[in-house]
Amino acid sequence: MERKKITFDSFIRGAIICGVVIAILMLLKRLSSVLLPFFIAWLAAYLIYPLVTFFQHRLKLRNRALSIFCALLLLAAIGTAAFYLLVPPMVQEFSRVKDLLMAYFTDSSYGSNVPRSLSDFLRENIDPALLKQLFQEKNLLNMLKEAVPPLWSLVTESINLIYGVFTIFIILLYIVFILLDYESISEGWPRLLPAKYRPFLTGIMNDVKEGMNKYFRGQAFVALCVGILFSIGFLIIDFPLAIGLGLFIGLLNLVPYLQIIGFIPTIILAILKAADTGGNFWIILAAALAIFAVVQAIQDGFIVPRVMGKITGLNPAIILLSLSIWGSLMGMLGMIIALPLTTLMLSYYQRFIIDREKIEHTESSKNQTHE
């Protein structure tokens, strides 16, 4: 197949497009502090919208504003109940784990039933003084600030509490206004485009919508179910930090197969439990790994097929790379828009480059056959 030559005009058009894209990204980064509440609100509205339609159409609440109020009220009630049910036990468990860690690393006779190779490896590579300093409340707060600086600054900078409350109020207003006209906003934008570009761009945006439905709604729901199942399983075997570890593994599951990282804290907590109770380390670890196996079987055999069907989404490596690149370029705002932008670029590449080359190759083959 004869490849299309790059002309001066096509080169200039490509350079202009690249320049416009770079300028838009620089502008977004410049305005990230202003745009962040809006994008958070848009993401929240996107996730809440199915609940609003459930209240409006299934429960026959014809008024959209009333449906939005009921949806937000339900979510607030669930969030409040989850906070009071989960946070106090997690704080107690965290305090218990902290005491177990300090006892294990400061007393060499503590945990004599733990395999010596593992015990020696941990004691040689972890400094007890550093561990003690790490678990001080002040240092934990500083770690939180460093881990999520954009989100922390969003809540605590400027006039502290007043600014944080004002920002939350603005986000809430954005959510309500977006949900009130969600259909006209999400479906009316093609009318703003020239008629000849509408089919192509509509197809791309449908690809993005399908990908986002799968990831933000489907994968998020799967991750929530996995986190709950792990928490229940760890509670059954009386594992240290059961709820916190279970929810952490569920959070990792937002990126498919990343939950394997959960093996590391699981092994450490199994060591601490064996040292604390005097039980057999291998039996404790086997019980924890059995939880992994059971949850994985439920996830692959029941949850994923029913929630996500047979649709294949982004490769986990692409998800991680996308979050890393956009997050480093634009901070928290970049992480929010990372997957939509990546899906958009992949869809454009598939439709505009790969599919067009296939069509040209097919036409070329037909011409050669006729000749």
- When pLDDT is averaged across residues 122-133 and rounded to a whole number, the result is 66
Note the pLDDT tens digit of each residue in 191-203: 777 777 777 777 7
Look at residues 186, 99, 187 and name the one whose alpha carbon lies nearest to residue 135. 99
How far is C-alpha 69 from the chain's CA centre? 26
DSSP symbol at 195: G
Rounded to an integer, what distance in angstroms lies between the CA atom of residue 333 and that of residue 338? 8
At 167, the amino acid letter reads T
Crossing angle of the two packed helices 32-53 and 8-30, in degrees rounded to 10: 90
Of 110-124, 126-140, 179-193, the one with minimum mean pLDDT is 126-140
Higher pLDDT, 113 or 250: 250
DSSP secondary structure, 310-363, as one string: T-----HHHHHHHHHHHHHHHHHHHHHHHHHHHHHHHHHIIIIIIHHHHHHHHH
Note the pLDDT tens digit of each residue in 333-359: 677 677 777 777 776 666 665 555 554
Contacts of 227 (CB under 8 A, 6+ apart): 246, 247, 248, 249, 250, 251, 253
Note the pLDDT tens digit of each residue in 164-176: 677 788 889 999 9
Please give the model's pTM, rounded to 2 decimal places: 0.68
How far is C-alpha 370 from the chain's CA centre? 53
Look at residues 305, 324, 318 and name the one whose alpha carbon lies nearest to residue 211. 318
Tokens of 354: 């790969």
Contacts of 273 (CB under 8 A, 6+ apart): 239, 240, 279, 284
Higher pLDDT, 225 or 327: 225
Rounded to an integer, what distance in angstroms lies between the CA atom of residue 100 and that of residue 288? 18
Look at residues 244, 257, 241 and name the one whose alpha carbon lies nearest to residue 292. 257
Higher pLDDT, 151 or 62: 62
Do 178 and 185 form a contact (C-beta atoms < 8 A)? yes
At 337, the amino acid letter reads I
Higher pLDDT, 49 or 338: 49
**Would you state the pLDDT for residue 260?**
84
Mean pLDDT of the chain: 75
- When pLDDT is averaged across residues 124-133 and rounded to a whole number, the result is 65
Of 52-61, 110-119, 271-280, 309-318, the one with minimum mean pLDDT is 309-318
